[in-house]
Amino acid sequence: MILDYTFKDRNLLVEALAHPSIRNIKNVSYQRLEFLGDAILNSIIAEMLFKYFIHDNEGSLSKKHVQLVCSDTLYEIALELQIAPFIIMEQHARNNRNNYSQNVLENVLEALIAAIYLDSSFPRIKKFIHTHWSSRLYDLSLAPADPKNTLQEIVQNEHKVLPKYILLSQTGKDHKPVFTTQVEVPNQEPVIASGPSKKISDKNAAILMIKQIQNENEVNKD
């Protein structure tokens, strides 16, 4: 697990990683910490956006906030931190791939945020969140808020049809899957992208297709 943080109180780390399946044995799970972590994350992300996007109005900031704290973003960061193998759960639960689901991983990430905060300080957890979310601030400036919807609007306006998404493969382990998607639209070369879920791989493919269309339009202008 790549947290770049050493816990003084190991019990907080154990609680943050404790799946509800062991509650009957140890009377502990990540769910209370998840509640606190969600509030901390929302507060710090709001401040980051307020300071970075100084010309944005409330509505624009709210849309960006939703993107940075949404399920897909938390899932991507949880995978980057390699949290899944360290989740503490009963053996029968470990054999159920649903216990490595997107929802579980994002819940554990929020619990870890709370645990680091309680074990250290607000400035320390602020540093942690800045480290893992800052690069995504720049992505907000470059990519459309909803790439699949944006691509759909472009294709429907031009061709009166919908983009076609094809799942090419699903590989990797249960706790670290890789989905690969191809998207096809008329008069364009198909593009392929991957992600830790089908939803994210579709989104990444849509972003690439939008860029391809935009690049072609720029060339045609010249």
User: How far, CA to CA in Å, does 8 sit from each of 28, 36, 38, 41?
Assistant: 19, 19, 22, 21
Residue 218 annotated as part of some ligand binding site: no
Residue 151 contacts residue 210 (beta carbons within 8 Å): yes
Task: State yes or no: is 38 an active-site residue.
Answer: yes
Distance (Å, rounded) from C-alpha 68 to C-alpha 48? 11
Residue 110 annotated as part of some ligand binding site: yes
Annotated active-site residue in 38, 76, 119, 202: 38
Task: State yes or no: is 222 an active-site residue.
Answer: no
Cα 69 off chain centre by: 8
Residue 34 annotated as part of some ligand binding site: yes
Task: Please name which of 172, 197, 176 lies closest in space to residue 82, comparing C-alpha atoms.
Answer: 176
Length of the chain, in residues: 222
Distance (Å, rounded) from C-alpha 46 to C-alpha 21? 33
As given in the structure block, the two tokens for residue 105 are 């991983």
Annotated active-site residue in 15, 76, 106, 110: 110
| H-helix segments, the chain | 10-17, 23-26, 31-52, 58-69, 71-80, 91-94, 102-119, 122-142, 147-159, 198-221
As given in the structure block, the two tokens for residue 93 are 């639960």
Give the residue numbers of the binding site for Mg(2+).
34, 107, 110
Give the residue numbers of the binding site.
34, 107, 110
Q: Which residues are catalytic?
A: 38, 110
